[in-house]
Structure 1
Amino acid sequence: MDFCAIDFETATHERHSACELGICVVENSKIVSTKTWLIKPPSFPYFNQRNIDVHGILPSDVKDAPTFDEIWYEVQEMMYGSLMIAHNASFDAGVLRSCLDYYGIFKPNLNYLCSIQVAKKSWNYLPKYGLKHLAEHHQIKFNHHRAGDDAEACARISLLAFEKLFITRNEEVHESFQSKLKKL
């Protein structure tokens, strides 16, 4: 299995207001790297208090951070040719799409999948499928709502789910989740 798990935190309700991005790269079913970037959003210095209450990232934390377009080359290198997985993928794919649109950057040809769908197929008896609940269920410790930790927890949960479903190759993901796979 080769994929990248991603997670965004945002400064406001605007989808292009990414203030943190985390990517966890999985190669041959092993986590090989996790990277986190703080990002100065277009709304800087404005952050919505509700967003701060969720992730704890303040405007002062990103005042010297690069903007999304300044990190995109490095981000794209980590994502190149990968299946992208995110927990509640419609949100994270929407943020990625909006950031690319905002900065006029060409969208990569990328398939993405929601780890909630993978978890529901693997553990259909669980009462909740939020990242925190799934991590607790699998004894995965992480700092919730920080992008790198969330991306890595998503990757670990996805790997456990694929193992339970006997999925060992990316082609099998396409076969098992064909209707759930989306294009960026």
Structure 2
Amino acid sequence: MDFCALDFETATHERNSACELGICIVQDSKIVETKTWLIKPPSFPYFSRFNVDVHGIVPDDVKNSPTFDEIWYEVEEMMYGTLMIAHNAGFDAGVLRGCLNHYGMFTPKLEYLCSIQLAKKSWNYLPKYGLKHLAEYHQIKFNHHRAGDDAEVCAKISLLAFEKLFLTSNEEVSKYMKLKIKKL
């Protein structure tokens, strides 16, 4: 099983306002690397109070950080050729598209899957499927709403779900989750 779990935090409601990105790389069903970048968003120095209340990242934290276009090639290289998984993937895919569009960058041919959909197939008896709730259910401690931690927990939950569903390869995931896998 090879995939990357991804999570964005944003500065505003705008889809191009990524202020933090976390990626967790899984190879052969093992987490091999988690990396986080603070990002200076196009809205800098403006950050929505609502967003800051969620993740705690303020303009001062990113004032010396690179912009999305300055980190994208490293990010793309880490993600190359793998399935992208995110918790509430529509949001994260939208932020990725928004950032790429804002900087006039090519959108890669990438398939993605939402770990919420995966969790619902794996534990259809749970009352909630938020990342925090799933982490508590599986006794995984993390710093919620920080991109690297969220990406790593997403990867761990996805691995547990694949195990529960007896899915052992990317091909099996593609067949089983066919209607849930989207294209960027």
TM range (shorter): over 0.9
Tell me which residue corresponds to 1:53: 53
The SS at the match of 2:175 is helix
Indicate the SS of the match to 2:133: helix
TM-superposed CA distance for 1:60, in Å, is 0.1
Cα deviation, 1:17-69, whole Å, max 9, x if unaligned, reads 00000000000000000000000000000000000000000000000000000
How far the C-alpha of 1:155 sits from its partner, in A, is 0.2
Q: 1: CA distance between counterparts of 2:100 and 2:81?
A: 17
1:133 maps to what in 2?
133
Q: In the alignment, does 2:147 pair up with 1:147? A: yes
Whichever residue aligns with residue 158 of structure 1, its letter is S
Runs of 4+ in 1 over 6 A off after TM superposition: none
TM-score, with length taken from structure 2 = 1.00
Unpaired segments of 5 or more residues in structure 2? none
How far residue 130 of structure 1 moved from its aligned partner, in angstroms, is: 0.2
Q: What is the alpha-carbon distance in structure 1 between the residues aligned to residue 48 and residue 68 of structure 2?
A: 19
Distance 2:126 2:113 in 1: 20
Alignment of 1:1-184 (within 5 A): 1-184=1-184
Question: How far off its partner does 1:110 sit?
Answer: 0.6
Equivalent position SS for 1:95: helix
Indicate the SS of the match to 2:84.
strand
What is the Cα-based RMSD across aligned positions, in Å?
0.3
Aligned-pair CA distance for 1:93: 0.2
> Matched residue pairs, number?
184
Provide the TM-score with structure 1 as the length reference. Answer: 1.00
Distance between the aligned counterparts of 2:82 and 2:64, measured in 1?
30
Paired-residue identity, %: 80
Point out where structure 1 has 5 or more consecutive residues left out of the alignment: none
Q: Find the aligned partners of 2:82 and 2:100 in 1 and give their Cα distance.
A: 17
